[in-house]
Chain A
Amino acid sequence: MKIVIIGDGKVGHKLTAQLSEEDYDIVLIDQNEGKLKEALNRLDIFCITGNGADADVQKEAGVQNADLVIACASTDELNMLSCLLARRLGARHTIARVRNPVYYRQMGLLKEDLHLSMAVNPELTAAMEIARVLLLPETSKVETFMKGRVELVEFTLRENGLLVGLPLKEIYRKFQIKILVCAVKRGDEIYIPDGEFLLQQGDKIHITASHQELEAFFKAIGKRILKVKKVLIGGGGHVCFYLALQLLQAGMQVKIIERDEKRCEQLCEILPKATIIHGDAADHDLLLEEGIREADAFVALTGMDEENIIMSLFAKTQGVGKVVAKVNEDSRAQLVEELGIDSTVSAKGATADAIMSYVRARNNSYSSVNIETAYRLLGGKVEALEFIIKEECQFTNVPLKNLATKANHLIACIGRKGKIIIPNGEDHLEAGDSVIVVTKDHIINSFSDILA
């Protein structure tokens, strides 16, 4: 599969790095020659210097034969124009990054005319990620499958809870709640566990279940349910706006601290229900005065990673139950989780993930099973994929215990006619099912890849 990426910015670079590792043929277009040279040194790709909206440059990059063109240069107009051009030249699919809220709002109208397969708004994507975590605050990351009916959550076994030392197969018997542990990270090792697996303190585990089951589960294991009602947000950029919009819709109270007075007035205008404070969110006295101790959650969204990290640490010392920081640099994000900040989010990472799952799904759309969504967990070492089984084949209507799967693959969840089944050995697959498969070995492109 041939992919052309326009723009070697933050998102572009991350995508290039991820996709090039997965046997895709990548052509990268950017105007900055120095940056391209660096990319060429590190990655196994092809680079072209030039304007992405220039037909000659696009032809040189072979857009006419490309399966996918991803435009993620710095300006929205350029991205949309590049995609339009690419379609004219014969590219099969195009993805544009559109971050201006005004453009993005009318994407429904524009998408068809621009022949875009997908428009990604990094800030919105990041905001959605944060909103999901705040709705299920016990977790540090939430992904959804089957149009939101199933959630895949990540959380760490911090204290010596009920789960520690328990074999996984005992969980259902003990709590009467149907959940499935699908991946465990212990130290640097990653396991796809089976029923005999024993959990330990400090494990970072991934669970799939429906939202209600998860809430019941967290209640049962005694992790305190802190329903988030009051959210304090430091920094009032685009992410903040999208986030506040969603949180207010969910009935939460939102207070935003923003440094720029003009922006404050804007926010006041577009978010009439939120409380807007003009001031520096890094000012501890201001945070205290504005009641950080009463807040259920604190989200640090300023433009500076360092500031966000410091703010979040301060919030943590003031006893805020749930702290989320926007950290753009991957290496910093890993560092931060060890410091006790509950979740980190980056607009770049969220965008790259969204595009990646689209690419993975697109790549398989011609086989008998179809990848609907794909998420990369635990720093890309584990992947969760949602397939739809289109027709009867050799693995349908066979009890799962008779279906020999490869090691490190797990069927985590089956969705059948609106019902969610956390499978055991007696269950079977049918045509029309959605199946979530968790795998450590992420080169599966079709469902049959998981069979031994």
Chain B
Amino acid sequence: MNTKMIRYILAKMLGVEALLLLLPAFVAVIYGEKSGVWFLVPIALLAVLYLIGGRKRPKEQTIYGKEGMIIVALAWILWSLFGALPFCLSGYIPNYLDAFFETVSGFTTTGSSIMPDVEILPQCMTFWRSFTHWVGGMGVLVFVMVLTSLDKHHTMFLMRAEVPGPEKDKLVPKAMSTARILYAMYLGLTIVEVVLLVFGGMSLFDSLIHSFGTAGTGGFSNYAASVGHFNSAYIDGVITVFMILFGVNFNLYFFLLLRDFKPVWKNEELRAYLGIILVSALLITWNISPSYPNPLTAFRYAIFQVASIITTTGYATTDYVVWPLLSQMILLILMVIGACASSTGGGIKVSRLLMVFKCIKREIMQMAHPKSVNVIRVNNKKVGSDVLRSLYVYLMAYGVLMVGSILIVSIDNKDFATTIGSVFATLNNIGPGLAEVGPAGNFSDFSPLSKLVFCIDMLAGRLEIFPFLMLFTASAWRRKF
């Protein structure tokens, strides 16, 4: 294993985080906030670490899949560890574990919070908290790849470990260019949203915060009532549309840019994704309409919540915990389904779900005609057996992780819905769960052990489990050759 290269890339990553931390410090200067000085501590620390480890390129630069996975997992953990420092040092989140939870929740675009009242945070802290969403959405390593020429030859190993979805494609032959294109589209969409939100009467700062939260499908807001604070149909509408847009496979936007509409129109995952959103929204509208003045208002709240949950954003315009059980169950199922592959959302991903249904169909077919031969197609392309195998294994690992987390969290003896909802919300990077951890609640009541489990779930969920599992076996890997 090339430990020198791992050290080098990680040191570079830390250097980039130091640069990123300059932004909230800058915000503090604009608003004249004293708490901005607390950003200087991690900046200095990271800069020193960068100077120690990241200046000299190691002679041996080849890295392989194993190193790629370990780098990715370690990078996410380290970024969160250092990113948590300002919250903790400034005293707004005095407990370091809580600050770590908040930062992990930020980078993994979960949006779960342990803060009872987010409105007490100064602007610079709020900015950093939401900015982590934006950086984490597209992947921190892909972000660093865009900024620096990390390693020209083996970037694909890093991308593969970080970009979600069952199959990983590049848009253009060069991984670096792919990363740049992805980020350009990501940045473009974000800017459009900011403009539209400002147009709707939001302040620039608020619109930035909410665009970061939407773009990364994160869900941090600077108001306790989340998007509901604005109580504006226009803002709800804009954010709904953008949440859905950020939950779409980014490769499709690339086709749009190339004016190639057919693959987008024919994309099965996109169709399924939009179909699920529409059907769920209509069902919930029907289910909750008695408590709203007219069906249109009910639909406004329903579609917002459906989009927020399926894309794993986690914004809320109302406290859905008070909705009827059917609606809550639909939301719980949407939590697991998640957004499209290669989007900024979490969850199992719609394309995996599609494959699973096709596998079930094939199995039934196979039972009726034992000798029949069937291939599974998605978007009219055959899905290879190794992709299917990793799909099964992913689902199993996902299930095991979920069950294990629920078991540990249940030590806290919360009620059933809270326990399950909290694990679902963190493992799928959503944010709010059910009952006590619903949109109106927060995660501060859990024991430190549970918070740690949630942190692991968020990271594992964001990195699609395996890079993270690899890290836990890293010591074994080093010894086993």
Interface residue ranges, B against A (CB under 8 Å): 1, 62, 64, 480-481
The answer on a CB contact under 8 Å between A255 and B481 is yes
The answer on a CB contact under 8 Å between A289 and B64 is yes
- Top 10 A-B pairs, shortest CB-CB distance: A230-B481, A289-B64, A253-B481, A294-B481, A291-B481, A253-B480, A255-B481, A288-B62, A295-B481, A275-B480
CA distance A255 to B477 in the complex (A): 13
CA distance A289 to B67 in the complex (A): 11
Q: Is the interface of B mostly helix, strand, loop or mixed?
A: loop
13 contacts between A and B (CB under 8 A): A230-B481, A253-B480, A253-B481, A255-B481, A275-B480, A275-B481, A288-B62, A289-B64, A291-B1, A291-B481, A294-B1, A294-B481, A295-B481
CB distance from A229 to the nearest CB of B (A): 8
Q: Which residues of A contact B1 (CB under 8 A)?
A: 291, 294
Q: A289-B64, A295-B481 are in contact. List 6 more A-B contacts (CB 8 A).
A: A275-B480, A275-B481, A291-B1, A291-B481, A294-B1, A294-B481
Q: Which residues of B contact A275 (CB under 8 A)?
A: 480-481
CA distance A90 to B64 in the complex (A): 64
CA distance A288 to B481 in the complex (A): 12
Q: Which residues of B contact A289 (CB under 8 A)?
A: 64
CA distance A230 to B481 in the complex (A): 7
Q: Which residues of B contact A295 (CB under 8 A)?
A: 481
Q: Which residues of A contact B481 (CB under 8 A)?
A: 230, 253, 255, 275, 291, 294-295
CA distance A139 to B481 in the complex (A): 24
Contact with B along A282-306 (1 / 0, CB 8 A): 0000001101001100000000000
CA distance A230 to B62 in the complex (A): 21
CA distance A288 to B62 in the complex (A): 9
Contacts of A226-284 to chain B: CB distance below 8 A? 230, 253, 255, 275
CB distance from A287 to the nearest CB of B (A): 12
Interface residue ranges, A against B (CB under 8 Å): 230, 253, 255, 275, 288-289, 291, 294-295
Nearest neighbor of B480 in chain A, beta-carbon distance: A253
CB distance from B158 to the nearest CB of A (A): 16
Nearest neighbor of B63 in chain A, beta-carbon distance: A289
Nearest neighbor of B60 in chain A, beta-carbon distance: A293
CA distance A295 to B64 in the complex (A): 17
CA distance A169 to B480 in the complex (A): 45
Interface core residue of B1, B62, B64, B481 (most chain A CB under 10 Å): B481
Nearest neighbor of A232 in chain B, beta-carbon distance: B481
Nearest neighbor of A253 in chain B, beta-carbon distance: B481
CA distance A255 to B64 in the complex (A): 17
CA distance A253 to B479 in the complex (A): 9
Q: Which residues of A contact B64 (CB under 8 A)?
A: 289
Q: Which residues of A contact B480 (CB under 8 A)?
A: 253, 275
CA distance A237 to B62 in the complex (A): 30
Q: Which residues of B contact A230 (CB under 8 A)?
A: 481
CB distance from A436 to the nearest CB of B (A): 38
CB distance from B5 to the nearest CB of A (A): 13
CB distance from B385 to the nearest CB of A (A): 13
CB distance from B57 to the nearest CB of A (A): 18
CA distance A281 to B480 in the complex (A): 20
Q: Which residues of A contact B62 (CB under 8 A)?
A: 288
CB distance from A299 to the nearest CB of B (A): 14
CB distance from A248 to the nearest CB of B (A): 13
Nearest neighbor of A254 in chain B, beta-carbon distance: B481
CA distance A294 to B67 in the complex (A): 15
Nearest neighbor of A230 in chain B, beta-carbon distance: B481
CB distance from A291 to the nearest CB of B (A): 5
Nearest neighbor of B481 in chain A, beta-carbon distance: A230
Nearest neighbor of B62 in chain A, beta-carbon distance: A288
CB distance from B396 to the nearest CB of A (A): 20
Nearest neighbor of A285 in chain B, beta-carbon distance: B62
Q: Which residues of B contact A253 (CB under 8 A)?
A: 480-481
CB distance from B375 to the nearest CB of A (A): 20
CA distance A138 to B480 in the complex (A): 24
CB distance from B374 to the nearest CB of A (A): 23
CA distance A289 to B480 in the complex (A): 14
Q: Which residues of B contact A294 (CB under 8 A)?
A: 1, 481
CB distance from B62 to the nearest CB of A (A): 7
CB distance from A209 to the nearest CB of B (A): 31
CA distance A295 to B480 in the complex (A): 11
CB distance from A353 to the nearest CB of B (A): 32
CB distance from B153 to the nearest CB of A (A): 11
CA distance A230 to B480 in the complex (A): 9
CB distance from A279 to the nearest CB of B (A): 13
CA distance A289 to B1 in the complex (A): 9
CA distance A275 to B62 in the complex (A): 22
CA distance A328 to B1 in the complex (A): 34
CA distance A16 to B298 in the complex (A): 96
Nearest neighbor of A255 in chain B, beta-carbon distance: B481
Nearest neighbor of A294 in chain B, beta-carbon distance: B481
CA distance A295 to B1 in the complex (A): 11
CA distance A294 to B479 in the complex (A): 10
CA distance A289 to B64 in the complex (A): 7
CA distance A295 to B481 in the complex (A): 8
Nearest neighbor of B64 in chain A, beta-carbon distance: A289
CA distance A291 to B64 in the complex (A): 10
CB distance from A317 to the nearest CB of B (A): 14
CA distance A294 to B62 in the complex (A): 14
CA distance A291 to B1 in the complex (A): 7
CA distance A275 to B480 in the complex (A): 9
CB distance from B468 to the nearest CB of A (A): 22
CB distance from A261 to the nearest CB of B (A): 13
CB distance from A319 to the nearest CB of B (A): 11
Q: Which residues of B contact A291 (CB under 8 A)?
A: 1, 481
CB distance from B356 to the nearest CB of A (A): 27
CB distance from A52 to the nearest CB of B (A): 46
CA distance A253 to B481 in the complex (A): 7
CA distance A253 to B476 in the complex (A): 13
CA distance A255 to B480 in the complex (A): 10
CB distance from B59 to the nearest CB of A (A): 12
CB distance from B258 to the nearest CB of A (A): 33
CB distance from B67 to the nearest CB of A (A): 10
Q: Which residues of B contact A288 (CB under 8 A)?
A: 62
CA distance A288 to B64 in the complex (A): 10
CB distance from A277 to the nearest CB of B (A): 12
CA distance A291 to B65 in the complex (A): 12
CB distance from A170 to the nearest CB of B (A): 42
Nearest neighbor of B478 in chain A, beta-carbon distance: A294
CA distance A193 to B349 in the complex (A): 77
CA distance A295 to B62 in the complex (A): 17
CA distance A294 to B64 in the complex (A): 14
CB distance from B459 to the nearest CB of A (A): 27
CB distance from B247 to the nearest CB of A (A): 36
CA distance A255 to B481 in the complex (A): 8
CA distance A275 to B66 in the complex (A): 15
CB distance from A274 to the nearest CB of B (A): 11
